Amino acid sequence: MTDEKLTPLTAVQEYIANYFDDCGIENGANLSRYIISEVLGMSYAKALLKKPMLKLWECDKIDDACNRVAQGEPVQYVFGTAPFRYLELEVTPDVLIPRPETEMMVDIVAYYLKKNNIEWPLLADIGTGSGALAVSFATEFDESIVYATDVSKKALVVAMRNAKRYDQLENIYFEQCSCLDNFEYFQHSRNHFNAIVSNPPYVPTDVCKKLPREVRDHEPMLALDGGQDGLDVYREILKSTRGMLEPGGLYLFELHETCLDLAKRIAIEAGLKDVSIIKDLAGKDRFLAAID
């Protein structure tokens, strides 16, 4: 990159485009937008309008980000943030980067709460990771209380920071455990949930080995590997949380697209009602919803 003190945005864009081209990176245009807007602290559209001259340190930061991304590091870890619905969440390699398809889970829960006129929902988010679902529930559903758990202490630290970021520490109870192990000690006036929600590790072990390098080498396997058929943690959650929902309460899981039929059979065998498979926006089987 040029040594001059100020560099026009157009030159920077050209530099990034050539650099990513040379490295054979496929979605270079999107990455370039992401990097520019993060470093300049403004939306890409605004940067295009303002056409700022970039300072040397900004160019250096962009250069560093491009190098790291070219080495396979997810751009969200490079900057330590990822968008999820209305939120800008902190992410570290201790948590899975929230995926856009997961956003739909909040809409499904919102629909369920509205349809059933539930005004003060008590919700559980098992395997909260960055806290994406828990913080969304707490910010989007008035008067809700969320009980969020994760096996990873390091993930919970990130989730708590995200709750703090949105001033929700009072509405979300965090607990380090594999499912809802300590819920019975939870000091709350109600002891049954309106919904138990989870985006558990669900990638079948064989598929994990074939995940893209940036996922395999950087994101926590603990949050991805769901065992041989991808349903190990799903089974464990179903088994250990039975009886914790209000009658008519909702179970909602995000699962791997190849596992939904088997997951449905397991849910029916477990005696759940209205078991349904919901597709994500890409048209793939993605969610399992059931009523207890």
Regarding 53 and contact with ligand GLN (CB under 6 A), the answer is no
Nearer to ligand GLN, 48 or 215 (CB): 215
- Site size toward ligand GLN, by CB under 6 A: 9
| Stretch near ligand GLN under the rule CB under 6 A, chosen from 38-46, 51-59, 196-204, 241-249 | 196-204
Name residues contacting ligand GLN, limited to 125-144 (CB under 6 A): none
Task: Specify the amino acid at residue 210.
Answer: K
Regarding 224 and contact with ligand GLN (CB under 6 A), the answer is yes
> Beta strand 87-90 with 122-126: parallel, antiparallel or unpaired?
unpaired
Regarding 202 and contact with ligand GLN (CB under 6 A), the answer is yes
Give the C-alpha distances (Å, rounded to integers) separating 163 from 131, 173, 227.
7, 10, 30
Name residues contacting ligand GLN, limited to 98-127 (CB under 6 A): 99
Round to whole Å and give the CA distance between 194 and 248.
Answer: 8
Minimum distance, C-beta of residue 220 to ligand GLN, in the bound complex (Å): 10
Nearer to ligand GLN, 7 or 76 (CB): 76
Minimum distance, C-beta of residue 96 to ligand GLN, in the bound complex (Å): 6
Nearer to ligand GLN, 8 or 227 (CB): 227
Nearer to ligand GLN, 84 or 202 (CB): 202
Which residue's CB atom is positioned nearest to ligand GLN?
202
Q: By CB under 6 A, name the binding residues for ligand GLN.
A: 96, 99, 199-203, 215, 224
